[in-house]
Amino acid sequence: MTGVRHIVGVMVVAFVLACSLTVSRSVEARPVDLTVVTYNVWGVPMVSPDREARIAEIGHRLAEMDADLVALQELWVAEDAKQIGAVLAEAGLPHQQRFGSSPEQQSESGLFIASRYPIDEVRFEAFRVGTTPYIPWHLDWMARKGIAVVRVATPAGPVHFANTHLQATYAMGDYTFVQVSQALQVAKMVRATDDAAPPLLLVGDLNAMPDELPVRVLATRAGLHHASPAFEIDQVLVRSGTSARLDVVESRTAFTDPVPLRTGETRTLSDHPMIVTRFRLDDCAACGVPIAQGHWGAVAAEVVTHLRDEVQGTERFMLFGRVVTVALVALTGWLLLRRRRRRRRLFGRSLALAATLLTFAVWAGYIGWHYAPGRLNEIDQQRAAFEQGLGEVDSP
């Protein structure tokens, strides 16, 4: 009799465990909708007009959007981040993170993430290329831009959420090399390399169009595809995981019209549109390891060709800087000696002109003896990384 009771007891326990596992699996498999917002808030201190009033209005409007994940760029000022963070926390997004190279410098990247669901892992890498000034008033070199990645514990399982802001473009100067290098660094950080990769959402201001080389490097190397082909430099890229799928339900822009501010001014809230995308996160037991989209070998070959041209251009620029430096210094010395011998009263004007020439000489010398050699070293390192990709088999 005791043996029968023991067998019955074991069968009951096994039945309860089977039921609990079935319930657990059904809960885990329950689809979840995620509303994702990415926005460059144009929070540059002393440059962006009506910054404080715009930030206040942005916070209130974000709180009304019922978003699950929010990624902001150019949120440079600590007080602005605290203000928006407090409003979003009240709106149900209490899990927040700012990013920098150290806890004391969390504003230096301008990146901010807020989540409705807990964040259980945080990573940040500052960009290694783009920190050396070329034209002084192109201010990206002053910031510590980078790539921020958090793991969010949603009811349907973990999701990696990445926020980034690549090198800006300017009317003067070509920064394609910097953008391509940064894109490769981002791709390496978020690339799926194991059999338990969660889904990935990568958003941000890429400062390049979807069909341009930096974005193709990022998407191809990391196995990402665009949530919408209509987006411009502010983009949302997505990759399903090994056991969960992310499907785009809806994507749109917002905050594009001028609004009245508390200052009495009426203006758009930023010089960028907000991107709003709704995803369906669902179970996908047969998804497998994500593979790269497109043909990495072809993209890498295109980058190597571009870098070879970049080397030639940089070498010419280095020679130009050195020749101009020597010429300007010689011209300045000759001018001062000539004016001083002829008329003492004109010496003041000559001194001002000499100071101007010397300023340009210093900049040319910086380009010729510091910036260009450093750039050539960076190009050699990046070219080696891309040349490794030439031997890889293209993914279908």
pLDDT tops 90 at residue 3: no
> What integer pLDDT is reported at residue 20 of this predicted model?
47
- Cβ-based neighbours of 174, under 8 Å, separated by 6 or more: none
Q: What is the pLDDT of residues 221-276, one digit of tens each?
A: 999 999 998 899 999 999 998 888 899 999 999 999 999 999 889 999 999 999 99
Average per-residue pLDDT in the chain? 84
Q: What is the pLDDT of residues 105-114, one digit of tens each?
A: 555 789 999 9
Could you tell me what percent of the chain has a pLDDT over 90? 50
> What integer pLDDT is reported at residue 131 of this predicted model?
86
Q: What are the sequence ranges of the domains in the chain?
A: 1-29, 31-293, 298-389
Q: What is the pLDDT of residues 262-303, one digit of tens each?
A: 988 999 999 999 999 999 998 876 665 555 555 888 888 899
pLDDT tops 50 at residue 74: yes
Sorting pLDDT into bands at 50, 70 and 90, what band is 161? very high
pLDDT tops 60 at residue 340: no
Q: 101 with 234: CB under 8 angstroms?
A: no
> What integer pLDDT is reported at residue 381 of this predicted model?
85
Distance of CA 42 to the CA centre of its chain: 15
> What integer pLDDT is reported at residue 291 of this predicted model?
56
**Which pTM was predicted?**
0.85
pLDDT tops 50 at residue 63: yes
CA 89 to each of CA 62, 92, 118, 121, 173: distance values in angstroms, whole numbers, following the listed order: 11, 5, 12, 19, 41
pLDDT tops 50 at residue 8: no
Classify domain 31-293 at the CATH topology level.
Deoxyribonuclease I; Chain A (3.60.10)
